Structure 1
Amino acid sequence: MLRIVGMCLSILVLATAGAGWWFYQHLNGNINSLALDGKGGSETADAFGRTPINILVMGSDGRTSAADCKLGGGCSKTGVQSGNGNADVEMVVHIAADRSNATVMSIPRDTMTNIPACKDPDGSASTTGYYGQINSALRYGPACQVDTVHRLTGIPIDHFVKLDFSGVVKMSDAVGGVSVCVSDNVYDTYSHLKLSKGTHTLKGEAALQFVRSRHGFGDGSDLGRTVSQHIFLSAMIRKFKSAGTLTDPAAVYSLADAATKALTVDDGLGSVKKLIGLAADLNKVPAKRMTFTTMQTAPDPSDSNRVVVGAGARSLFATIAGDQSLTTGSGKKSAAASATATSSPVPASEIAVTVENGTTVTGRASAIATALTGQGFNSGTTTVNAPSAAATTTLTYGPGQKAEAQTVAEALVLPSSRLKQGTGTGLTLVIGGDWTSGTSYPGATSSPTSPSSSSSASGDAQAAVSNAHASTADEAKACAKVSTYKTVSVNGVAMTPSQAYAAASDKPDSAR
């Protein structure tokens, strides 16, 4: 839900900035801003002097107020907590340099990655760095979360917007509710969302239950939740862009006041004037050219309850960093996006690679093999020394294994020119003298989980949208798919969310 907050906030501030100096100062006083401390890199202008905008929108699960404790629960023993909590929602919002299109990419909270050394500016927490769940970086401050996402994706992050539980409630109430559709009866006994099949207008706590529902939709994991969040945000965008939403002074005041109170932003967005500028940029993008995606993942080889970067993700990262649109000028999915249904990438977990060291540097094969298994490639990946020195790096694949080779090449940012078909079976990667350091092919960053951070990078758009659950904000008829798995329980009995709805007839629906 959180990505839209920055947009909606800005649009409303734009609409209300002329209401008087007092109101202007009042809104400025509401805004809580923090320094980004140079984290996240920076975008470069295109040939026409236009610069893309990238914002990390994050939702904190912190119970740092009585309101958040009541909404989120879990404070019965601890009481109101301090600190930032975890970033259980993370969305990278990319606004194109020419303001013609935008992409919103969700990063599942269960993604495992390298957290860099960080220290919260208030001195409350610090770390020397570790490998862990991506959402935990927020514990060390928003700038740490921004730095972590930047290192994972290679996408420069210029700004951040942070929202907590009570902020979601305030925003949904102020906008007058958001209309969403569910494909079947659903009762998520964890988030307490309970809705009958069909369309409902959600306000306040019901809206929070919907965007928090992890067990109600899809496969009952965080991946399904990102898709339902996109449906919610798309509906909110359409409401903001619909006629009349911004013409009611009372509604405008209520939403602008709620939005500025609900958010924490970086210093670059820390005033009404700056938010007005962002609003103007965002309002230029039509709903049909706002693409929502979810970062592709693969199961973590070490923990089935966690995920790692999957096939296609690096192309998605590069597409965003390279300021490429995932829709055409008409708003239709690009040819690449349309090809998603026929694209069948091979999961990294099913691919084992023989990595040969053809350099004079000890440990090169081991370093690359470790990078591959760390990204979810099969543990059968092995290392040996090449029979002879190799001047260039090559990835040789057997008949019918081109798709597997492309998945490996994508993970290592290896050019297609380095791939060739051989006569034997399996995949053999020979590390040559052109690649003596780092775990991404030269020209990319040295991190095994980061593509090129250059904004001029070019991504494979077809791979970018493959298995990324791509949709656009104008898809008004989309319904959140209720999970068909037994993801919840009633009185200790495992049930599907629809079965739970029937079994809990005494519980009132969320939308009444």
Structure 2
Amino acid sequence: MPAESTPEPGIPGEPGTSAPRHRAKGRRRKARSKRRKGLLITAWVAAGIVVLGGTGAGYLYFKLNGNIKSVDINQALGTDRPTKVDNGSENILVLGSDTRSGSNEKLGGGTDDGSARSDTAMVVHVYEGHKSASVVSIPRDTLVERPSCTDAGGVTHDAASGVMFNSAYSTGGAACAVKTVESMSGIRMDHYIEVDFSGFEKLIDDLGGVKITTTQDINDPDSHLNLKAGPHTLDGEQALGLVRTRHGVGDGSDLGRIQLQQAFIKALMNQVKSIGLLTSPTKLLELADTATNAITTDSDLKSVNDLVSFASGLKGISSSKMTMVTMPVQYDSANANRVLVDEAKDKLVWDALRNDQVIPKSATEGTATGTAKDVVSAG
């Protein structure tokens, strides 16, 4: 079983990671100033809710199928990709997206023209046997080499050097985000799942909230979050505020926010497993409707049957069998609001996952990290 460890990184468009400057290897870039928001949810949680509700027939079946949006990643990227590893493991890129169109507008974030961006990214590696997993959070304000890519509409986008990681999604959507992650990691993504702001909020409300405990007060007007130290049952708005907050706790960095997000994911997993959904068919279908409306998937997961098959292989993974780390980075000595890939340690992470092995502790020791690790725990 993978051992837990917790390092953390950053965001494009937002002030980025705020912390003392440290020297780091790599390219120096000037800061960018636009403010951006983020959220996240794990692939197997979203899919796990779908599998609970995906047993209907007739109208309900077709309704759920009609909810699911999909992107043909394989068609867009073609054959210029890492080789698929046939060792029983799976790699899923999970993105949280925001937009100012539709119901997301009131939640903030996104762009004024209604286009979407991804401000949270995680690679979920499911080990052979599907009993444990590792999750690698990719900081948004990591400066990367973005490869040339073709989006789902057939438009080719030029490569770019030293740009924010999430510029891949805002430039070319899901296909370019997958291409960039594959280029960085050398690992082929078997699946892609994207969750949006409004869907995340409604999903938490439909679940009846998520129980957490905070060890200190969290007060962040920007994310509309005000929590006293102690136990809480977060509704959808509060949960969204928690996974977005950066200035309400710790050093105000996005690395700290990632630590909060990782703690919330574990609490969410525990909540899904403990609320007895199987006793209420109405609740199952309500959750299935919300989940399928909230997600965009790769074309291999575009139907309820596909999601049921996928999720059934993940439902044995509990929060205790999950390791969560942040991709190894160091602060950019030219700009403390940006981070650079720690190439030697980064290689240890991706080599371990490529070989279906536990991420070694040495891969995350001495890397940049936030100060919110122990602020939130499952309630």
Same fold (TM over 0.5): yes
Structure 2 Cα separation of the partners of residues 9 and 2 of structure 1: 11
1:323 to 339, 350, 356: 356
Q: For residues 434-474 of structure 1, give each alpha carbon's deviation from its aligned partner in whole angstroms, at most 9, with x where no partner exists.
A: xxxxxxxxxxxxxxxxxxxxxxxxxxx1313435799xxxx
Is 1:254 the equivalent of 2:286?
A: yes
Structure 1 pair 3–211 and aligned structure 2 pair: CA distance change class (3 A): same
1:55 touches 1:161 (CA, 8 Å); kept in 2? yes
Structure 1 Cα separation of the partners of residues 105 and 246 of structure 2: 19
1:43 touches 1:53 (CA, 8 Å); kept in 2? no
1:4-403 maps to which residues of 2 (within 5 A)? 4=42, 6-36=43-73, 37-38=76-77, 41-46=82-87, 51-65=88-102, 67-72=103-108, 78=112, 81-85=113-117, 87-122=118-153, 126-139=157-170, 140-242=172-274, 244-310=276-342, 312-325=345-358
2:77 touches 2:179 (CA, 8 Å); kept in 1? no
Question: Which residue in the other structure is 2:36 paired with?
Answer: none
> TM-score if structure 1 supplies the norm length?
0.60
Amino acid in the other structure paired with 1:178: V
Report the Cα offset of residue 162 of structure 1. Answer: 1.3
Q: For residues 102-125 of structure 1, give each alpha carbon's deviation from its aligned partner in whole angstroms, at most 9, with x where no partner exists.
A: 011101111000111134333678
Structure 1 pair 74–464 and aligned structure 2 pair: CA distance change class (3 A): closer
Question: Which residue in the other structure is 1:463 paired with?
Answer: 362
Structure 2 Cα separation of the partners of residues 42 and 3 of structure 1: 27
Structure 1 Cα separation of the partners of residues 45 and 255 of structure 2: 24
Amino acid in the other structure paired with 1:71: L
The alignment partner of 1:106 has SS state of strand
Larger Rg: 1
1:42 touches 1:157 (CA, 8 Å); kept in 2? no
Runs of 4+ off more than 4 Å: 467-470
Question: Which residue in the other structure is 1:436 paired with?
Answer: none
1:9 touches 1:256 (CA, 8 Å); kept in 2? no
Structure 2 Cα separation of the partners of residues 74 and 94 of structure 1: 28
Question: Which residue in the other structure is 1:480 paired with?
Answer: 376
Structure 1 pair 236–102 and aligned structure 2 pair: CA distance change class (3 A): same
Structure 1 pair 217–281 and aligned structure 2 pair: CA distance change class (3 A): farther
Structure 1 Cα separation of the partners of residues 345 and 268 of structure 2: 28
The alignment partner of 1:239 has SS state of helix
The alignment partner of 2:241 has SS state of helix
> TM-score if structure 2 supplies the norm length?
0.80
Report the Cα offset of residue 232 of structure 1. Answer: 0.8
Report the Cα offset of residue 130 of structure 1. Answer: 3.4
Report the Cα offset of residue 174 of structure 1. Answer: 1.6
1:32 touches 1:270 (CA, 8 Å); kept in 2? yes
Structure 2 Cα separation of the partners of residues 467 and 164 of structure 1: 33
Amino acid in the other structure paired with 2:221: T
2:99 touches 2:109 (CA, 8 Å); kept in 1? no
Report the Cα offset of residue 128 of structure 1. Answer: 4.0
Structure 1 Cα separation of the partners of residues 109 and 140 of structure 2: 19
